Structure 1
Amino acid sequence: MEYRTLSDSQLRLSAITFGSWAAGSWMWGKTERTDAIDAIRTAYEHGVTSIDTAPIYGQGTSEEIVGEAIRDIPREKVQILTKFGLRWDLPKGKFYMKTKDNDGRFIDVYKYAGKESVIEECENSLKRLGTDYIDLYQIHWPDVTTPVEETFEAVERLLEQGKIRYAGVCNYDASLAEKANQVVDIVSNQMPFSMVNRKIEEETLPWCIANNKSVLAYSPMERGLLTGKMKPGQKFGEGDHRKIHPSFKDDHIIKVNEFLKAIQPVAEKHEVTLAQLVLRWTLEQKGITIALAGARNAHQASQNAKAADVKLSSDELDFINQKVDEL
């Protein structure tokens, strides 16, 4: 496994970080709790020491699973990344979405990061995770109803209290990240980035590079689309958000599969899967520090971890980049 330090901090993460959205079952269909725990523990055995979660993932379920999975691992050996700012239990802020919880009940989710809410969320996360500190605390989405200064004054208090080690943001554009950074020294921005979604290259990624802020790329596999396992007419289980996601329309799946077919020889040469090749490519991109990869079971977790060991030549990277540019 490869390890990388965020910004100028002392926080060193595994280049492949375990993404635990699916572990919480919410919006991904049912994931067995025991399978999720096994996946996290197997990932750790393969060098994945960093785990990214959030309260909204299963409305606390994902954080509880993470806490249970790492209970017997010395706390200093793992890095816990979690988030705040999406409330399903407090109708304040900006309405985000109507969705269903894991029991099939409708819930309303709000983007809210008022000062007292941030403090409360941190306390709740610490309890669910079974720890007394969080390594990286990230706002999940911008809250347009609360001044950035107020939100990050609360984060600053948590830093001073030692309840969090470092602060980060998610889904922040360059201007918002700059505002947050004026209050607290943020070390990272977690954003969507993949071979078929490179929007951050226009503005936000250059800002992060210029200001020495690490980028945690989420959905590098584009929700499984880049595994090569998706076929036209793909069927998804009950509660899986991909049923209605535009990336999984038949014409797009066909287009992406043609691209994957073109780069398949590179994967075959290295005796790795397409998923492993895609993850390694992600880690090779300028400004990308960490790639988040989710897993529903131990096998997927071990496969993801091995992606960090793939070595690509400059010619191979140039070839893949050419094909990516043609997408």
Structure 2
Amino acid sequence: MQYRKLGDTALELPVITFGAWAAGGWMWGGADDQEAIKAMLAAYDEGVNAIDTAPIYGQGHSEVLVGKAIKELSRDKVQILTKFGMRWDDNKGDFGFKSIDNFGKDIAIYKYAAKESIIKECEDSLKRLGTDYIDLYQIHWPDVTTPIQETMQAVEELIKAGKVRYAGVCNYDVAQMTEAEKYIKLASNQIPYSMVKRDIEQEIVPYCLALDKGILAYSPLERGLLTGKMKPGHVFNEGDHRAGIYFFKDENLVKVDAFLNKIKPLADERNMLVSQIVLRWTLEQPGITIALVGARNAKQAVENAKAARVQLSKEEIKFISNELDKLQLSL
């Protein structure tokens, strides 16, 4: 496994870090708890000693499973990344959207990052995770109803109390990161980035490079789109959020499949998977510190981790990028 320093911190994260959204089941058509735990443990055996989760993933369920997994390991050898600021059990803040939980119950999601909420969320996360500190604590989404100053000062208090080691943000733009930096030292921004979603290259990447902030790229395989496993006519399980996303229209699946077939020879000659080539290309892009990748079972977790072993030449990276420039998806 390859490790990279996260910004100006003491955290050394594996370039492939385990993303535990799908493990929580919510919005992914359910999940098998035991398989999810086995996936985390299998990833750890491959050197993936960091797990990214959040309370909203299964309304606490993902964090519970992460806690069960790390009980089988040594806490000081695992880095826990979790989040705050998305509440399903309160109606304060900025309304996000309506959803259905793992039990079929209607829930409303609010983006809320006021001080008292953050303190409560942190305590709840610590209990679910079975730990007394969080390595990287990240606001999940911007909350327009709470001043960034209040949010960041609350996290700073948690750092001083020893409950949090470092502060990060998710889905912040440059202006929001700049404002946050007035009150706390940010380690990173967790932001969506993949071969087919590269808008952060315009402003966020240059900003993070200039100020030594890490970038945690989430959905680098675009929710499975770039694995090569999805073909036209693919049917998602009930409750799977991907069913309504334009990436997964049949016409786009055809285009992506054609692109992946062009880079498949690079995978074949290495006896690797196309998804592993995709992940390696992602990790070679300027400013990208790590890729967060989910797995439903141990086999997928091991495959993802082995992407760190892939070596691509400058010419191969350029070839992939040139082919990507030709890929035009329909909205």
- Give the structure-1-normalised TM-score: 0.99
Cα distance in 2 for partners of 1:116, 1:134 equals 18
**Structure 1 residue 210 displacement after superposition:** 1.1
Cα distance in 1 for partners of 2:287, 2:204 equals 10
Q: Deviations over 1:247-279 (max 9, x none)?
A: 101111111111111111111111110111111
| Aligned residue type for 1:326 | K
User: Is residue 16 of structure 2 the alignment partner of residue 16 of structure 1?
Assistant: yes
Q: Runs of 5+ in structure 2 lacking a partner?
A: none
Q: How many residues align?
A: 327
Q: Deviations over 1:217-263 (max 9, x none)?
A: 00000000001111111100011001111110111111111111111
**Structure 1 residue 72 displacement after superposition:** 2.2
Cα distance in 2 for partners of 1:251, 1:211 equals 40
**Structure 1 residue 77 displacement after superposition:** 0.4
**Structure 1 residue 321 displacement after superposition:** 1.2
Cα distance in 2 for partners of 1:313, 1:158 equals 43
Aligned to 1:93: 93
Taking only aligned residues, the RMSD between alpha carbons, in angstroms, comes to 0.6
Cα distance in 2 for partners of 1:45, 1:142 equals 35
Cα distance in 2 for partners of 1:242, 1:253 equals 13
Cα distance in 2 for partners of 1:138, 1:206 equals 21
Aligned to 2:271: 271
Q: Deviations over 1:35-73 (max 9, x none)?
A: 000000000011000100000000000000000011021
**Structure 1 residue 324 displacement after superposition:** 1.5
| Aligned residue type for 1:154 | A
Secondary structure (helix, strand or coil) at the match of 1:70 reads helix
The 5 A counterparts of 1:9-158 are 9-158=9-158
Cα distance in 2 for partners of 1:223, 1:237 equals 14
Cα distance in 2 for partners of 1:281, 1:258 equals 18
The 5 A counterparts of 1:200-211 are 200-211=200-211
Q: Which runs of 4+ in 1 moved over 2 A?
A: none
Secondary structure (helix, strand or coil) at the match of 2:182 reads helix
Aligned to 2:299: 299
Cα distance in 2 for partners of 1:160, 1:326 equals 50
| Aligned residue type for 1:117 | S
| Aligned residue type for 2:276 | Q
Cα distance in 2 for partners of 1:264, 1:285 equals 19
| Aligned residue type for 1:275 | S
| Aligned residue type for 2:127 | K
User: Is residue 220 of structure 2 the alignment partner of residue 220 of structure 1?
Assistant: yes
| Aligned residue type for 2:169 | V
Cα distance in 1 for partners of 2:234, 2:73 equals 39
**Structure 1 residue 30 displacement after superposition:** 1.5
